Amino acid sequence: MGPVSAAAWETAMDRALALAADAGPDVPIGAVVLGPEGDVVGQGVNRREADGDPTAHAEIVALREAARAVGEWRLEGCTLVVTLEPCTMCAGAIVLSRVARVVFGAWDQKAGAAGSIRDVLRDSRLNHRPEVIGGVAEERCAALLEDFFATHRG
Ligand SMILES: [Zn+2]
């Protein structure tokens, strides 16, 4: 365990949820990167529709912002907090960024790559494996997505 406490990542999850709720036309997913001391060094929201960019997932946006803030691509000691279990692309980017810990809210049984359909984050063949904590504020994270899809389906 690093210096960043569970209370700090729960506060970050609140922030990620607030970001997600403001995602506009996009599926509401938000992410926050905490530095080794628990300060916010990056944040992002899903911008796939807004930017017309298939890679503009909340985690990627947040990791890029964090790397700019930290001044290098290595995000050692950082914690990524995201409202939904990362997909395969984002899990790959997380491993490459070397964040120490990933905290996520809702599970994604269709595309999740942190235990649901596969587990990229804890693949023993990769040379970096972050600590993974899933299901934080799970009900609120899932409800946000369910409300979005209920509204956009009819
Ligand atoms: Zn993703």
Q: Please state the pTM of the whole predicted model.
A: 0.95
| Region of poorest pLDDT, from 22-26, 38-42, 65-69, 100-104 | 22-26
Rounded to the nearest angstrom, the distance between the alpha carbon of 130 and the centre of ligand 1 is 16
Confidence check: pLDDT of 96 > 70: yes
Whether 72 sits among the annotated catalytic residues: the reply is no
Kind and range of the H or E element at 25?
A: none
Whole-number average pLDDT of the chain: 95
Confidence band of 1 (pLDDT split at 50, 70, 90): very low
Annotated catalytic residue, options 10, 37, 49, 59: 59
Q: Report how far apart, in Å, the C-alpha atoms of 138 and of each of 32, 84, 130, 133, 143 are.
A: 16, 9, 20, 11, 8
First to last CA, the chain: 45
Residue 24 confidence (pLDDT): 87
Residue 4: pLDDT band by 50, 70, 90 thresholds?
Answer: confident
Q: How many CB atoms lie within 10 A of CB 139?
A: 10
